[in-house]
Copies of this chain bind each other. A is one copy, B any other.
Amino acid sequence: MRLLTALFTPRRVALVGASDRAGTLGHLLGRNLASFPGEVVPVRSGESLRDVPGEIDLAVVSVPATAVPAVAADAAAKGVPAMVVLSGGFAETGPEGAALQAELVAAAGATRVVGPNCFGVQNCDLPLNASMAAGLPLGGGGICLVSQSGAYGMAIYTLATDERARFAKILAPGNTCDVTIAELLGELADDPASATLCFLLESLADGRAFVERARAVTPHKPVVVAKTGRTAAGARAAASHTAALAGDTAIGHGVFRQAGIVEVASGQELLDAARALDGQPLPAGPRVAIISNSGGVGVELTDLLADEGLTVPELSPGLQERIRAMLPPFASPVNPVDVTPVWSRFAELYPALTDLLARSGEVDAVVPVLLQRAALDTATAEGLRDAVAGLRADGVAVPVHVCWVAPRDARPNADLLAEGGVPCFDWPARTARALGHARRYALARARTRPARPAPARRTGPTPTDPVGLAAVLAELGVRTARSRLCRTPDEAVAAAPPGVPAVVKLAEAAHRTELGGVRLDLRTPDAVRAAATELLAQGPVLVQPRLDGVEIAVGAVRDPQFGPVVMVGLGGIWVEVLGDVAFAMAPLDRAEARDLLAGLRGHGVLTGARGAEPVDLDALADVVVAAGDLLLAADDVVELDLNPVLAGPAGAVAVDWKVGTTATACAGAGSGATL
C-alpha cells in the first residue's frame, strides 16, 4: 500500500493507546477519530496490535515513549503499512530519547513511521482526524499543510477555519525519524486532491532532496515554504527547540527561489499565500486593477503592490470612458477606480466594475477594496461573489482578491465571500503580499524546468597548487590568468609579460590582500624587481599580466543542508561590504547562472552602466556553472573560490583561484587586479 493511501485514506485505523479516561491523549484521539467513516479499532493498555483481527492500514500511537518500540515491532509483525507516533520523549529530549528513537526505527521494519513527537494526520475530505486538534478545517479545497511545529500549525489552521479557507490534508512530521519532509512532498505531489502544498519548517535535514523534488513539483503545483530560524537569532532559538540546526539563510533563499518555491516569512503569510494560490487563477501578468470606495486606501495599496513588483496601470481611454459612465461625478476611473462613498450604489458598482475590469484584457488581477460601509453591505458581498462565479463560468482566468478593511461586525460578509471562493485579505499589506506571491509563483512556474544532469565524477585527489588547479579548471572551461611561480627577483623580472603592466603577488592566497601582498600595475622591469624583492621576504610570488574587467566573486561550497551550492557576488571589496551575493544549488545550466547574476543588486555594472560595454554574460555564467560542477565532480573539494573573476566584453578570466579539500587546508593562487 502506498504511503499516501495508508496515511490519508486508510480503511481501518488502530488507535494504540486508546483510553476511556478523559484528559488522556488516547481519549482525545478516540474522540477526534469518531468522525472517521472507516473503522477505528481501539488497542488499550495491556492489549497488542498483533491480536487485532483483520488488516490495519494505519496505526495511530499515543502510548508512553518507552512502550513505542514494542508497538512498532507489533505493527511490523502484523504488516501494518504505516504508523503515526504522537507520543513525545524521543530525540527532542536528548541522547536517551535519541536512542529510544533509533530503537523505534529498528523495530518498525517495513512499517513506515511518521513522527514521533508529532501532532498527527488529518484528511479534511474523508474526514480523518488522527491528531490532537479538536475539529478539522473546511474540506473541499486543495491546501495541504505539513507543519513541523504542532501547536503553531494548529494555530494556522484555526486561523484558516476563521477565514473559511478550504483544506485537503494536514500532517505534522514531528522528529522525521523515518518519513521525511522530502518524501511527504513527493507523496502529496502525486495526489490529485492536493493542489497547494504548504510547509511550515523549523529545520530541513533532507534539504537537498526536498529542493530537488520541489523543483519537479513547482511546474505543476505551488510549493509554499515558511522556514523559521531564518536569522542567526532565530536559528539559535530553533536549536534550543528542535533536534536539528537551521541552515544558512541566504543559501536557503537562493535554492528555494531556484526551485520555484514560494518562500514566506511567517505562518500567517503561509496561509495567505495558500489562499491566494488555491482556488483562484494565477495572475498572467503584473497589472492590477483596484476598485475602492476610498482614495486613501487605493493609494496605499498601489504603493504596497509596487513593493511586490506589481503595477496599477492607467486604463485605456475607452475603458475609462465606460467606467466614467457608470460612476458618480468626481469619482475616478483612472485606476485605482474610486467609486467614492456612494453607499446606495455599492452593491451595483462593485460587481459590475469587477466584471468589466476582469474581462477588459487590460489587467491581470482585480482587487476590490471593501472598506467600512462597502464591507458592511451584504448585497455588495453577494454581488461580488456572484460576479466572480460568472467570470469563472465563462472561463475568464483573472483572479479576484478582496482587500478587506472593516470592523469586526462585518465579518460575516467576508465569510460569505470566502465560502463562495473569493479570498478576503485583511488590510492592504496582507492583500498585496498574497497577490505578490501568486504572481511570483506564476513567474516561477513558467521558468522552472528540470535540473541539468550532474557532471561525471573525477577520480583521484584534486590538486590544490596554482598550476594543477588551473588545469582542472581549464578542463571545466574556466580561463585563469597566465601565472608564473617565482622564487627570486630575477625570475620575476623574466616572467613579467611583455607589453602590458605586470602584477606580482604572494603565491600563498590566504589573507593576501590584508597583508598587502599584491603589487599592481608594474610597468617597468625595475618596478617588477622592486615589488618582487619586497614580497619575496614573505614567500614565493606569482607574476601575472594585469587584466581589466568588472570584478566578480564566484564560489562554491558544500552546504550541510543543500549539498554543492554556488555563490556569485559583485566584486572585490564590495562583496564583503555590501553582501551583494546570491546562491543556487548545483548543477546549474547557463540560463540559471545568468538568472543568478541578474538577481544581484549591482547587476547593472555587468550590462553596461554609464555607457560601458556590457560584459560577456554567457562566459561569466559558464564560470558559475563550472564552479558548481567541480564540487559535483570532485568529492574531495569542500569549497572553491574564484575571486575575482574579471569579466569583460571578450570573456571572463579568474585571476585568483583556490580550493579547500578534505585533504588540505585552503591553498591557491592568482592576482588581485582592480578595475
Contact = CB atoms under 8 A, between A and B. Distances in A.
A296 B202 CA distance: 7
A404 to B, nearest CB: 10
A604 interface: yes
Nearest to A203: B299
Contacts of A295: 149, 151-152, 202, 238, 241-242
A120 interface: no
Given A233-B303, A303-B265, A307-B231, A200 B296 contact: yes
A341 interface: yes
A514 B610 contact: yes
A81 B378 CA distance: 44
B296 A152 contact: yes
A34 interface: no
A100 to B, nearest CB: 14
Classify chain A: how many residues form its interface, as a range: 35 or more
A405 interface: yes
Contact of A299 (B158, B241, B311, B330): B241
Contacts of A155: 294, 297, 371-372, 405-406
A477 to B, nearest CB: 28
Interface in A592-622: 601-605, 609-612
Contact of A228 (B230, B299, B305): B299
A233 B290 CA distance: 12
Given A300-B228, A407-B162, A233 B305 contact: yes
Contacts of A230: 303
A229 interface: yes
Interface string A208-246: 000000000000000000101111111011101110000
A662 interface: no
A148 interface: yes
A517 to B, nearest CB: 11
A573 B513 contact: no
Contacts of A516: 611
Contacts of A200: 296
B233 A267 contact: no
Interface stretch (A40-48, A331-339, A464-472, A485-493): A331-339
A325 interface: no
A411 B411 CA distance: 14
Interface in A277-336: 293-300, 302-307, 311-312, 314, 330, 332, 334-336
A36 interface: no
A578 interface: yes
A628 interface: no
A260 interface: no
A93 interface: yes
A22 interface: no
A99 interface: no
A485 B226 CA distance: 62
Which of A151, A230, A267, A371 has the most CB atoms of chain B within a 10 A radius of its CB?
A: A151
Contacts of A602: 574, 577-578
Contacts of A406: 155, 158
B306 A231 contact: yes
A336 B176 CA distance: 23
Interface in A461-503: none
A428 interface: yes
B297 A152 contact: yes
Contacts of A304: 265-266
Contacts of A238: 295, 299
Interface in A113-130: none
B228 A514 contact: no
Nearest to A603: B577
Contacts of A338: 240-241
A303 B610 contact: no
A268 interface: yes
A266 B372 contact: no
Contacts of A158: 372, 406-407
A92 interface: yes
A446 B269 CA distance: 34
A368 B83 CA distance: 36
Nearest to A579: B601
A428 B266 contact: yes
A153 interface: yes
A413 interface: no
A425 to B, nearest CB: 12
Contacts of A312: 233, 237
Contact of A297 (B267, B296, B341): B267
A306 B233 contact: yes
A674 interface: yes
A591 interface: no
A149 B296 contact: yes
A238 B338 CA distance: 11
Given A148-B296, A150-B296, A267-B428, 12 more contacts: A149-B296, A151-B341, A151-B372, A159-B407, A228-B296, A233-B312, A234-B299, A234-B303, A237-B312, A237-B336, A241-B332, A408-B411
5 contacts: A152-B371, A233-B303, A240-B336, A241-B298, A265-B303
Nearest 5 A-B pairs (CB), nearest first? A149-B296, A152-B296, A241-B295, A234-B303, A151-B294
